[in-house]
Structure 1
Amino acid sequence: MKRKASLPVSYRLAVTSRALAAVFGGYLLASLASVCMAFWLPISRADAVVSAMMSAFVFYLLAVIWCFACRSAWRAWFGILVPGAVLATLAGVSYWMARP
């Protein structure tokens, strides 16, 4: 009986890393984008929050597509964490500037 060749462990780890980046990093990016948009949209606070939360689905989708379109898992993580750090910084600055 002939046995099928199995995928290498490095490939499996790369796919697992991309999936983790897509799920957790995508959630991080979507939530930070939502927070930033809620601060920045020039409409009423309630409308800004609802609009930002609705657009978070688009950010999450784009993050997942990005993670699986990259050539390497490192680039996927880099492409998620760098914009996440920028958005976190902007959200923090916006929060502290909006405080009375």
Structure 2
Amino acid sequence: MSRNASINRWNIASRVLAALVGGYAVAYAVTAFLAVYLPLTRPDRVVFSSLVSFAVWTAVAIYVFAARSATRVWLLIVGVTALLCLAAFLSGDWRVRP
């Protein structure tokens, strides 16, 4: 096996892991963020944000394989997840935390 084939396999494995685990993390962060900040009643916020999470996970999976580099994908996934989770969990109204 050549060095190029080994690098390509690790690149694909990294992207698959980013699509599965990273997509789940971003979908959870979007769900938590929307469940806190949408101007709806609590049950409606939870249902709507849960339904949106499926579209977000799909969009992340598509982006992972369309991006130029796996490093850029991981940085974006970690950044978006951290930003949205911090915004959701550090909201001013403590009774609406997810």
Normalised TM-score (structure 1): 0.87
Q: In 2, distance between residues paired with 1:73 and 1:39?
A: 31
In the alignment, which of 38, 41, 45 is matched to residue 42 of structure 2? 45
Specify the SS of the correspondent of 1:8.
Answer: helix
Provide, for residues 33-79 of structure 1, a one-character-per-residue CA deviation record: whole Å limited to 9, x for no partner.
Answer: 00110111111100110000000011101111111111111011112
Structure 1 residues 13-92: aligned runs within 5 Å: 13-92=10-89
Work out which of the two has the higher radius of gyration on C-alpha atoms and give 1 or 2.
1
Tell me which residue corresponds to 1:99: 94
1:85: how far off? 1.0
Q: What is the root-mean-square deviation in Å for CA atoms of aligned residues? A: 1.4
- Structure 1 residue ranges without an equivalent (≥5): none
Normalised TM-score (structure 2): 0.89
Q: In 1, distance between residues paired with 2:94 and 2:82?
A: 21
- Structure 2 residue ranges without an equivalent (≥5): none
1:19: how far off? 0.5
- The number of equivalent residue pairs is 93
